Structure 1
């Protein structure tokens, strides 16, 4: 049975520049696509958040550049928790799938593995 499930991912950008944000976001999206066999036709929506120290570009632009032109994309600012990870980009992909939750692969790159501990 097909249901809507969430796939999470996070990464960090080296700097608050368009190139750094786009590069980090693209790297993460490509890893999530490969690990989960994602196709745009199965996506319900994708939510992107960035920490307040990143504001040079919209991270969702990376998804558009990958060809996700029919998917609803949303960007937001992450809660500014003191002492939290800087320059962090998070992604939540809502996908229509037959897979069980344990079959989905969440990916944490560039030091964001600490978010899962």
Structure 2
């Protein structure tokens, strides 16, 4: 079992922007780590306090074959100076014998600054 991290940002607090950013991030995590729905135990989504127009879990739940994956949403701790308009995912998945250092964490858009060592 491995935890696979990812983050992205949105430029506006609208359901459309939140859903698109979440799906782009989730699909990148799934693709980069060769995940199938049955490999995923759960997904934790979090948002910064400036994102409140929609739940990021919704578009993941609506993807074909992912409707039974447990997904939970939380709000990030409001730390002064933290990256704004940020959506984060923690995908817990059974990836077999993949070593921790070979897990591909995904950072997109403005969230690349969070982990420049891991962002592509």
TM class, shorter-chain normalised?
Answer: over 0.9
Gaps of 5+ in 2: none
CA RMSD across the alignment = 1.0
**Moved >4 Å (runs of 4+):** none
What is the TM-score with the length of structure 2 in the denominator? 0.91
Structure 2 residue 90 is the aligned partner of structure 1 residue 77: no
Of residues 12, 22, 26, the one that matches 1:25 is 22
Partner of 1:96: 94
Partner of 2:51: 54
Partner of 1:45: 42
What is the TM-score with the length of structure 1 in the denominator? 0.93
Q: Give the structure with the higher percent strand.
A: 1
Structure 2 residue 5 is the aligned partner of structure 1 residue 8: yes
Query: 1:70: Cα distance to partner?
Result: 1.2
